[in-house]
Amino acid sequence: MNKTVLVTGASRGIGYETAKLFAKGGYNVALNYNQSKKSTEALVNELAKAGHRAMLVQADVACREQVVSMIDSVNKRFGEIDVLVNNAGMAKQALFTDISLQEWDRMFDVNVKGMFLCCQGVLPAMIRNKSGKIINISSVWGMTGASCEVLYSSTKAAVIGMTKALAKELGPSGIQVNCVAPGVIDTDMNSDLDENAFEDLKEQTPLGTIGKCIDVAEVIAFLASEKAGFITGQVISPNGGFLI
Ligand code: NAP
């Protein structure tokens, strides 16, 4: 029987590419979006035309009711979820002193609470089945911190802590929890960066380039595969050598 993966934030960028890769790998793929229905629907149709099994599910990952109903829809269509990719996320550059309480709470709600809710939603079945894979997307900024990204860096560091602790708790239940912490990847999330900033980042990267979504998607797919059977609680960072 085909395995089922839920990819959050699959409407664009890294999540979009990851969903495509899983579909090509024979998974049933549930693509979550929050606002970008059009692009997600287009990808689901494209995958279905190519003979893959894909569905779209709307949910704001920060809202428990919506997450519960999303997981329920996936279970009804494809059965229990074997792989959860917690990819949905937001970022914003700001001076620390300018961050409002609302901005602080919202980013933690999406980037951290969203993962907590999605994990709690899929875990009862994974624990019952004594198998499952959870892959959480952090960032190099969660490992090193970035100026003018204190809030984002804090949420992404929390993702690493959650991954490691959860891996310890769930290892005895046969569930693997890992983290992917990409370097700078060419997506909408970096659309604020101008040409000069991109050139600077390339110069600081030993491989001399910005990453592509597929570079991250391949690492996620590997961690979900049988080849990664002895890996848990790890942070894998596709970053072109930006952080060594
Ligand atoms: P992106 O192109 O901006 O896409 C963000 C995705 O997250 C979209 O699909 C968006 O869905 C979804 N999303 C945002 N808020 C959501 C919510 N409340 N509920 C459900 N979905 C929500 O970003 P990306 O660059 O692909 O980033 C994907 C992940 O990689 C994020 O966790 C990000 O922090 C991480 N990351 C990115 C980079 C980078 O350089 N790009 C580097 C390191 C880590 P809608 O469009 O439907 O709202």
Query: Quick one: angle between helices 64-78 and 114-129, nearest 10?
Result: 40
Strand order in the sheet with 83-86: 53-58, 28-33, 4-7, 83-86, 132-137, 175-180, 235-236
CA of 9 to the centre of ligand 1 (A): 6
Give yes or no for residue 137 CB within 6 A of ligand 1. Answer: yes
Mutating to test ligand 1, I would choose from 70, 87, 152, 237 the residue with most ligand atoms within 8 A of its C-beta, which is 87
3-state secondary structure at position 42: helix
Give yes or no for residue 184 CB within 6 A of ligand 1. Answer: yes
Give yes or no for residue 35 CB within 6 A of ligand 1. Answer: yes
Which of 22, 2, 123 lies closest to 67 in space, CA to CA?
123
Tell me: the pLDDT tens digits for 14-45? 999 999 999 999 999 999 999 999 999 999 99
165: left (phi over 0), alpha (psi -120 to 50) or beta: alpha
CA of 141 to the centre of ligand 1 (A): 15
As beta bridge partners, residue 134 has: 84, 177
pLDDT for the residue 110? 99
Length of the chain, please? 244
Domain 4-184+213-236: assigned CATH number:
3.40.50.720
* Phi, then psi, of 226 in degrees rounded to 5: -65, -25
Give yes or no for residue 28 CB within 6 A of ligand 1. Answer: no
Give yes or no for residue 33 CB within 6 A of ligand 1. Answer: yes
pLDDT in tens, the chain (244 residues): 899 999 999 999 999 999 999 999 999 999 999 999 999 999 999 999 999 999 999 999 999 999 999 999 999 999 999 999 999 999 999 999 999 999 999 999 999 999 999 999 999 999 999 999 999 999 999 999 999 999 999 999 999 999 999 999 999 999 999 999 999 999 999 998 999 999 999 999 999 999 999 999 999 999 999 999 999 999 999 999 999 9
Structural contact between residues 22 and 81, judged by C-beta atoms closer than 8 angstroms:
no
Residues carrying an active site annotation: 152
Give yes or no for residue 217 CB within 6 A of ligand 1. Answer: no
Give yes or no for residue 44 CB within 6 A of ligand 1. Answer: no
pTM score over 0.85: yes
Domain ranges of the chain: 4-184+213-236
CA of 90 to the centre of ligand 1 (A): 5
CA of 11 to the centre of ligand 1 (A): 9
186 Cα nearest atom in ligand 1: 41
pLDDT for the residue 153? 98
Query: In this structure, how many other beta carbons lie within 10 angstroms of the beta carbon of residue 38?
Result: 10
pLDDT for the residue 1? 83
CA of 1 to the centre of ligand 1 (A): 30
DSSP label at residue 146: -
